[in-house]
Structure 1
Amino acid sequence: MDSTMLFLAKKWIGGLLMPLPLFLSVFLIALILLFFTQKQKTAKLLLLFSFAFIFLLSLMPVSERLAHHVERKHLPILQHNAAQNFDYILLLGSGGIADPSLPVNSQLSAVANSRFLEALRLFQANRNATLVVSGANFGDIKSHAQMMQEMAIVMGIPARQIMKLDNNLDTDDEAKKMSHIIRGKKSVLVTSATHMDRALNLFYKYGTAPTAAPTNYLAKNRLGETPSSYYIPNSYYLYKSKTAWHEYIGALQNWIKSFL
């Protein structure tokens, strides 16, 4: 099986292991048992189990706790410490759809825009750095790296200071290729806070250690009072749980791969 097929298989398996499809699958199995077998007790327990998990993962305290655990392992770079004479700013891919009827910032996902803003902030404090953008096209008319490159040029970053890597399948592939570029240089890695720890561990695997610049935090430390309406189950909290869950699954996958 070639690398593309392995990647697609990983995407399918990983997608099915996300909370909503996973627990909806359990829910479906429970309905089949309930209506077509005599295993009524098992069916009811599975129904209760799947409902309870979807409900809990849709609550703010649960979702933010899960996210907080994975995204606070590395400190952000604050403004007073942004100028560190970085040679490279590494910006990991994060999705988008190349729609020519929209400006490039609207073609990129919300996560991609958040990551780009952090990379732009660091570039403004390190004007001699090279911005490395990555991300394949996955069937789209443009690669994610190309859209990021266009965004960078629109925001005033000189084209000669942008390096485009648009043939990467996943974070492991990005870390491997970027490590060849930054070896012996001072670099900073920009990705979502939830994704940072797993991404850095992949760079360590290839013998490099860029400075962490996490962004797009899902769980923020609230200093004021939390409105009572925030405790109502919400699909956005389920999204936060799913994002953290994805990183737990990814870390487990990397751990398994280390033994193979």
Structure 2
Amino acid sequence: MFYYVSKVVWFFATPSNLLISLILLGLILALFKRLRNAGIALALVFSLATLALGLLPIASYILLPLEERFPPFRDDGRPVHGIILLGGAVEASDSVSRGSIVANESAERVLDTILLAHRYPDARILISGGGGTVFGDGAAEAPIIADYFKAIGIDPARILVEDRSRTTAENATYSRELATPREDERWLLVTSAWHMPRAVGVFAKAGFAVTPYPVDFRTAGGTRTHRPFAFVSEGLRRLDIATKEWAGLIAYYATGRTSRLLPGPQAPEGGSANR
């Protein structure tokens, strides 16, 4: 139920959808003589808000604390026993339709996992990502990525496929069941930097201690964070991602899926985030 409610609510609450809806509402109200001034004012205000949120670096400021919560991974020489790749980088239905893997803007998740697979040839590779939509089951992402890894020469015996999960919380629960990690094992968790706090929180809650390997950074950091966007669509896209992730953190904390609102490097749920 949580999955379906979250998807429906977020469709209407997504900033880009909400802004356009409010502009349209203003235009509709303007058709009525008694509400014309209010409608025009509403449409004008949210039209300006759309431009401001799309062009100004507001979205970058919202996303930056998430992306800088965990530092980039540095190889310290300690053995790596496993690599966990969270889904979200491949369009599963499009891949099935085209008969070829179709990656999206989070493709670094897959690319860096390939790099890690070669860097740590003895590590197992767990790919976590199921299917499902609000209106029914969809193609699962994990098997598609697994087939791609096998096609480029990664030993199939190293690959574990978790294709039941639809949420980050399920990623953690089902991954732990499949991997059955020992306390002395070190597993790298590969996901987008902006998604890493929530991911680490739920993995720790599930009793699966992981070492964060953040990728897919959307902000540049430093003074470049203050740069405006060249296109309104760029700023709105980043705003959608940032607000969705913060909403996810709040929802997961409120429902007990994480023990901290903003999990960090010293996550207390079930163990340390860095081992």
Fold equivalence (TM over 0.5): yes
1:11 is paired with a residue of what secondary structure? helix
2:124 corresponds to which letter in structure 1?
Answer: T
Residue 109 of structure 1 is matched in structure 2 by 104
1:200 is paired with a residue of what secondary structure? helix
1:211 corresponds to which letter in structure 2?
Answer: T
1:82 CA drift (Å):
6.7
2:32 counterpart of 1:36: yes
Q: Deviations over 1:97-147 (max 9, x none)?
A: 22454532xx23231x2101111222222211111002123344x420011
In structure 2, C-alpha distance between the alignment counterparts of 1:30 and 1:223, rounded to whole Å: 37
Residue 247 of structure 2 is matched in structure 1 by 249
Residue 214 of structure 2 is matched in structure 1 by 214
Name stretches of at least 5 consecutive residues in structure 1 with no aligned partner: none
1:44 CA drift (Å):
4.1
In structure 2, C-alpha distance between the alignment counterparts of 1:131 and 1:197, rounded to whole Å: 21
Normalization by structure 2: what TM-score? 0.79
1:110 is paired with a residue of what secondary structure? coil
1:249 is paired with a residue of what secondary structure? helix
1:63 to 55, 59, 64: 59
Change (3 A) 1:194 1:42: same
* Structure whose residues are more often helix by fraction: 1
Residue 176 of structure 2 is matched in structure 1 by 179
2:130 counterpart of 1:130: no
Residue 197 of structure 2 is matched in structure 1 by 197
Could you tell me whether the CA contact under 8 Å between 1:19 and 1:54 is conserved in 2? no
1:72 corresponds to which letter in structure 2?
Answer: E
Residue 263 of structure 2 is matched in structure 1 by none
Could you tell me whether the CA contact under 8 Å between 1:183 and 1:208 is conserved in 2? no
The number of aligned residues is: 247
In structure 1, C-alpha distance between the alignment counterparts of 2:76 and 2:104, rounded to whole Å: 25
In structure 2, C-alpha distance between the alignment counterparts of 1:49 and 1:204, rounded to whole Å: 43
CA RMSD of aligned residues (A): 2.6
In structure 2, C-alpha distance between the alignment counterparts of 1:50 and 1:87, rounded to whole Å: 51
1:223 CA drift (Å):
7.6
Q: Deviations over 1:11-56 (max 9, x none)?
A: 1211221111111222232223322262455434432442233222
1:66 corresponds to which letter in structure 2?
Answer: I
In structure 2, C-alpha distance between the alignment counterparts of 1:257 and 1:127, rounded to whole Å: 38
Q: Deviations over 1:141-197 (max 9, x none)?
A: x42001110121123221000000111111111111223433523111100111111
Change (3 A) 1:100 1:40: closer
In structure 2, C-alpha distance between the alignment counterparts of 1:199 and 1:11, rounded to whole Å: 18
Change (3 A) 1:157 1:37: farther
Residue 93 of structure 1 is matched in structure 2 by 87
Could you tell me whether the CA contact under 8 Å between 2:84 and 2:187 is conserved in 1? yes
Could you tell me whether the CA contact under 8 Å between 1:83 and 1:126 is conserved in 2? no
Q: Deviations over 1:59-105 (max 9, x none)?
A: 25223222222211111114xx175312221100104122454532x
Residue 8 of structure 1 is matched in structure 2 by 4
Normalization by structure 1: what TM-score? 0.84
